[in-house]
Amino acid sequence: MKLINKKNMLGFLAVILTYAIAGFLIDKGFIDSYIFLNIVLIGINIILAVSLNLITGFTGQFSLGHAAFMSIGAYTSGILTAKLGLPFWVGILGAALLAAVAGIIIGIPTLRLKGDYLAIATLGFGEIVKIIGLNTDYIGGATGLNDIPRYTTWTWLYFCVVVTVLLISNFIKSYKGRACISIGEDEIAAEAMGVNTTYYKVLAFTLGSFFAGIAGALYANYFYFIKPDSFGFMKSIDILVIVVFGGMASIKGSILGAVLLSLISLFLQGIPELRMVVYAVILFLIMVYRPQGIIGKGEFKLFKKRGGLNANNQSK
Amino acid sequence: MPIIKVNNLSKAFGGVKAVSNINMSVEAGEIAGIIGPNGAGKTTFFNLLTGIYTPTSGEVIYNLERKISSKSFKPYKMTGYGVARTFQNIRLFKNMSVLDNVLIGCHNNMSYGLLSSLLHLPAFRRSEAKAYDEAIKLLDIFGLADKKDEPASKLPYGEQRKVEIARALAAKPKLLLLDEPAAGMNPNETKELTKLISWIKDEFKLTIILIEHDMSLVMGICSKIFVFDYGNLIASGTPTEVQNNEQVIKAYLGGE
């Protein structure tokens, strides 16, 4: 429970060293722009996967609309930095806050739904965001938003990833985080122990959206250009695959999953014809032989059977 | 002044009357037992007491710290009112550690903000340290302190029941509802549990209502027994009164 102990100090040192060494390598040109592009993608995927894991892995709320929050963040930061000429930190903060507000607005009505119903509702939300993007001329419609300044540097990327991982791991160790995990485990028991389940579901959803917004801002301010199609259903599935592959309810798993899956698809670019086939086979093997993911605790269950009230009622 | 009063309580699921016209009351400091054949409506009655079901008619009135009627029951508010329960089919958080399970019981007694949760500010450490001490103390009582880091699902059945009781006690209730606490225990474990229940009643100054099929437990520690059959309360009284009640014998053994 102590803030400063040996383990924390070592972790802190490792974080600083990684930053300094990679920063040095990028500065001296040992890491070229192609590798750096992949590092940026890995970083963004880590943020997305860890934040989705809070919603789906820990709290057990199956969301298929995570890319929509990323999209809201990307467009917000795009507008703030490109159209209004504001600095990057305003873009990131605005992106995170607007995505979080969207999370609250979507979360309150949809989180009453369970399992498959929630999945469909969040899927629908993702499509709505996409269609609004396609039909709004101010943000470029289907052609997308151009000329976004490239503000995403190694420092910003690394800072955002570390902050996301640190805050979410801190959160799940707090009593609020425990309440979220208990909902994922057994909603009725959680409620009986005094956990206001609706509140904590919306809280987890909002926090997850907040960080997805940050990922969106990093994305928009690295690639100059965003279009609504980049944040469609398939992107949501990609993030979910990372979470399941790495392990539900495991933050380390999500980080490892994001790194490994990015590396796998990077190496597979040498054989473009077979890329998706090999990728699919790897996922298939993981799901058959390690259904809990690389370092996950719980198994991935899309439609959780929780027994529900009826099973509880049939007293024997 | 009774700590809990039930007035004409009924609950119907469609055409089935699971519980009908129950009137009863329990005084503070009592251990009350609810018995009855399978399907008599005992668990439904518990679910009515804890806000999981809303009554079709009638009401439940708690007189704990203040007066609360079943109109303002919500499952997640019950521990705040001073009512905690366990479940018939154990509902532990299986992948969480034993300690975390008990810590969830402390949920209502903890309050620090979102910022403290995210940044682990001093308020976080104060509150978590206090909850940790309380949880360990409870686990010690049940002899489970050395298993605090194990996932709850890895424990044997009898110990899982104990963790569930510890979790309920962590919420600092005034009234404890136990749904078949001895189910699946062997006679020795049941004997031990019987002692434990009357001990925690005194130690934590509780009122306890329990549903149980094991007559040695019920007759041994309950000062008052309510007998359910087909959703009706057919008898109530001291263990001896109930044992000699003709209707009770008929309900259990059958008859003309």
Provide DSSP, B10-22.
EEEETTEEEEEEE
Average pLDDT over residues A17-35: 89
How many Cβ atoms are within 10 Å of A263's Cβ, its own excluded? Answer: 12
Q: What residues in A contact B177, CB-CB < 8 Å?
A: none
- The band of A313, judged by pLDDT with boundaries at 50, 70 and 90, is very low
Percentage, residues of chain A above pLDDT 90 = 63
Tens digits of residue pLDDT in A142-184: 889 988 999 999 999 999 999 999 999 999 999 999 999 999 9
Tens digits of residue pLDDT in A240-270: 999 999 988 899 999 999 999 988 888 888 8
Which of A167, A189, A315 minimises the CB distance to B93?
A: A189
Of all helices (H) and strands (E), which one includes residue B218?
helix B215-221
Q: What residues in A contact B75, CB-CB < 8 Å?
A: 188, 191-192
Tens digits of residue pLDDT in A77-135: 999 999 999 999 999 999 999 999 999 999 999 888 877 888 899 999 999 999 999 99
Which of A1, A181, A195 minimises the CB distance to B76?
A: A195
A192 with B87: Cβ contact below 8 A: yes
Domains and CATH numbers, chain B: 4-82+173-253 (3.40.50.300), 91-160 (no CATH)
Q: Residue B204, Cα to own-chain centre: how many angstroms?
A: 14
User: Over 80: is that where the pLDDT of B254 sits?
Assistant: no
Q: In what order do the strands lie in the sheet with B83-85?
A: B83-85, B175-179, B207-211, B31-35, B224-229, B232-237
A196 with B38: Cβ contact below 8 A: no
User: Over 50: is that where the pLDDT of A311 sits?
Assistant: no
- The band of A316, judged by pLDDT with boundaries at 50, 70 and 90, is very low
A62-71, A271-280, B98-107, range with the lowest pLDDT: A271-280
Tens digits of residue pLDDT in B44-62: 999 999 999 999 999 999 9
Q: For residue B126, give the chain A residue with the closest CA.
A: A1
- How far apart CA A205 and CA A203 sit, in angstroms, is 5
Residue-wise over A219-245: b if at least 16 C-beta within 10 A, else e? bbbbbeebbbebbbeebbebbbbbbbb
Q: What residues in B contact A167, CB-CB < 8 Å?
A: 118-119
- How far apart CA A161 and CA A73 sit, in angstroms, is 15
pLDDT score, position A187: 92
A with B: how many residue pairs have Cβ under 8 Å apart? 128
Place of tokens 């919500």: B74
Q: For residue A1, give the chain B residue with the closest CA.
A: B125
pLDDT score, position A32: 87
**Given the DSSP bridges, would you call strands B31-35 and B175-179 parallel, antiparallel or unpaired?**
unpaired
Average pLDDT over residues A10-26: 90
Q: For residue A177, give the chain B residue with the closest CA.
A: B117
User: Over 50: is that where the pLDDT of A312 sits?
Assistant: no
- Choose, out of A3, A5, A168, A174, the residue to mutate when testing the contact with B (most B CBs < 10 Å): A174
- How far apart CA A12 and CA A16 sit, in angstroms, is 6
**What is the reported pTM?**
0.90
CA angle B106, B111, B116 (to 5 degrees): 120
